[in-house]
Amino acid sequence: MAETLVQKAAPDFKAEALIGKSFKEIQLSDYKGKWLVLFFYPLDFTFVCPTEITAFSDRVDEFKKLGAEIVGCSVDSKFSHLAWSEKPRKEGGLGEIKYPILADITKKIARDYGVLVDEAVALRGLFLINPQGRVSYSVVHDLGVGRSVDETLRVIAAFQQVEKTGEVCPANWSAGKKTMKPDSVKSKEYFAAAA
């Protein structure tokens, strides 16, 4: 059974990334004090991947409102990322992406996060790293299904709600809904109202 990274310090990373149309080295410490959505995808020039990458990019402002940044990552080179970003979306390309895409050419980052398969590609792994640099949430799944931007936003908002109020968020919680007190007696207020 794979060991979880949740509640542990996020594995450090430092690598070249495509940012806009240029390259820059980025590292985990660049995001200290912010929420970070670090997501892995299998390969450039594939099928499900561009739908995820562009969906996160199109909603980057919603993440910024939550004090969160996004970084994508695959085992491809920065030059492959650039070539894919220059291909129009209507042809399966990325177009302009509003966050960095790491070039994990050594596969070290994918290996450190436990998503590398057969030393070849990364599974679809998504990690929420809190402002203290610890992993608060991870989801890793097989290659054929894309992730939900809505769910990622919901989970960040829920963790921030817990941090702010000390109360916990029940199943399907979203902003504005009731939370519950993490106490065997006081939690009954939530259950009584929900019944």
Active site residue 49: yes
From the list 30, 25, 24, the residue with the least C-alpha distance to 10 is: 30
- Cα(21)–Cα(96) distance, rounded to whole angstroms? 8
The one catalytic residue among 49, 53, 94, 121? 49
- Give the CA dihedral 93, 99, 104, 105, nearest 10 degrees: 50
Structural contact between residues 100 and 21, judged by C-beta atoms closer than 8 angstroms: no
- Cα(17)–Cα(105) distance, rounded to whole angstroms? 11
Q: Where are the beta strands (DSSP E) in 66-134?
A: 68-74, 101-103, 116-117, 121-122, 124-129
Alpha helices in 66-135 (DSSP H): 78-85, 108-112
Q: How far is CA 166 from CA 77, 153, 159, in A?
A: 43, 19, 10
Query: Which of the residues are catalytic?
Result: 49
